[in-house]
Structure 1
């Protein structure tokens, strides 16, 4: 019998959390990796190092893990929406042309909300309700923090994810311009969604 446990991320899980974020990003992390220092072998290693620094905008502490019989089956990564965006160092490393490609994406947010940055369930653990349960974990965290909304960004052409978010009560806040790019293979831009909570 499978036992699913939901718990906070741990420092030793930074690489697995980074893998989930990268897989969930719809190519955004591949795009940002253009600015990755050459000392890293992969974007996952780069991001894992950032998560280990345990800074307000980048920390393993923002992850909730779904664990099944000791294995990490899924993860969700969330933080206050005020922290969503790109810092000046990243903008400079990307260069002006690359930054303009994603500028609207990273400047769109729902203020005073908890931002669900990434949600990923590994394929062998899908169809068990883990994704919806992780979303509920985020909603509970927002309620405990006194935040009136949970927000997120989803690619417009990701109908399966949009369906899950609709079933959890998320509604459209804004359509976000995001042009197709070899590293971001999506059409129709992104959608900023939110759900209001009963505090």
Structure 2
């Protein structure tokens, strides 16, 4: 997919020229998509928190809700997710997010950061019972890589190239920051996501066996996928 970097930034889903450098990760990428659609991929902002939270729920919402329910069965996962995304720090912060905007609407998101942050965040407090259940997945990690935490596209905009464009933007970010690879976790029963990652050059490099739980219905465990990166061109 042709993706070119343009000096565009956005707020509240609308584009405006702001003179961002096209060589910096904060610049926007314009992608020509299937069906003559066009979208802009840009860095997420605090104003995008609710839209990012709704899309993130499509990507990993069952796992997030599974962990949240142990702490507070009455909590609203969307509200808690939105608040964490609006925060300036943490692995869920909007500062780690990219959003895809088409016709003024956020239609896709990806969140990625240095993988070492997973272990750093996990070590700040004793794990809950459900966090301990998922510990094999957390520990299946390449701390020297750039980690794709979430990627999701709104249902009405799938199969148009937005997912591939977001994935390409994450890979470009990792390459610009001189990471040797991009890694991600994917449930073994998520055939659609696995197919997307394989097409993008990712390979399975590990598997974490997760005990079955009635509120986390995934079969086959969690896989670690990795794509090795060539250094950026001079």
TM-score, with length taken from structure 2: 0.77
1:11 counterpart residue number: 46
C-alpha change, 1:174 and 1:26, in structure 2 (3 Å) is farther
2:89 counterpart residue number: 55
2:13 counterpart residue number: none
Q: Answer whether contact 2:115 2:143 (CA < 8 A) is retained.
A: yes
C-alpha change, 1:58 and 1:27, in structure 2 (3 Å) is closer
Structure showing the higher helix proportion among its residues = 1
Q: Answer whether contact 1:26 1:185 (CA < 8 A) is retained.
A: no
Q: Answer whether contact 1:36 1:43 (CA < 8 A) is retained.
A: no
1:119 counterpart residue number: 151
1:29 corresponds to which of 38, 42, 64: 64
Q: d(CA) in 2 for partners of 1:50 and 1:26? A: 14
TM-score, with length taken from structure 1: 0.90
CA RMSD after TM alignment: 1.8
1:44 is displaced (CA, Å) by 1.7
Highest relative contact order (Cα 8 Å, sep 6+), 1 or 2? 1
Could you tell me which runs of 5 or more consecutive residues in structure 2 were left unpaired when the two chains were aligned. 1-35
Secondary structure of 2:134 counterpart? helix
Q: d(CA) in 1 for partners of 2:176 and 2:223? A: 26
2:77 counterpart residue number: 43
C-alpha change, 1:52 and 1:26, in structure 2 (3 Å) is closer
1:89 is displaced (CA, Å) by 3.6
Count of matched residue pairs: 194
Could you tell me which runs of 5 or more consecutive residues in structure 1 were left unpaired when the two chains were aligned. none
